[in-house]
């Protein structure tokens, strides 16, 4: 953090130095902001992907079945869907702000 001097007590060279420090600080903050914006966009995109995947898995799980499954096959599929749903929901909780 740059200390706040009394500007009316600074000479020309000191004002130039202060201006240069402030410009450097602004550039640094702009870089940080751009990086954070990129990360936020990435997290929002990932959240949307996970929400979409959950919706697909729920539709698959709760949709009327037009095919008849062997009960063992249905059980295996349900177990896989449950595992996927739990993993996605856990990841969403971690990513939630």
* Total of domains in the chain: 1
Any domain includes 30:
no
pLDDT in tens, 42-82: 999 999 999 999 888 888 877 765 555 566 666 777 778 88
In a domain, 95, yes or no: yes
pLDDT in tens, 14-50: 999 999 999 999 999 999 999 999 999 999 999 999 9
Q: Evaluate whether residue 79 is within a structural domain.
A: yes
pLDDT in tens, 5-17: 788 888 899 999 9
Could you tell me the pTM of the whole model? 0.55
Domain interval for residue 43: 37-61+70-97
Q: Could you tell me which residues come within 8 angstroms of residue 9 by beta carbon, excluding any fewer than 6 positions away?
A: none
Instruction: Give the Cα separation of 8 and 15 in Å (integer).
Output: 10
- Asked if residue 87 has pLDDT above 80, the reply is yes
């Amino acid at each position: 953090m740059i200390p706040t001097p009394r500007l009316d007590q600074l000479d020309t060279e000191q004002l130039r130095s202060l201006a240069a420090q402030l410009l450097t600080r602004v550039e640094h903050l702009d870089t940080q902001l751009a990086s954070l914006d990129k990360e936020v966009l990435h997290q929002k995109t990932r959240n949307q992907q996970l929400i979409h995947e959950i919706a697909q898995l729920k539709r698959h799980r709760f949709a009327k079945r037009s095919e008849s499954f062997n009960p063992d096959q249905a059980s295996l599929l349900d177990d896989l869907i449950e595992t996927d749903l739990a993993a996605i929901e856990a990841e969403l909780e971690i990513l939630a702000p």
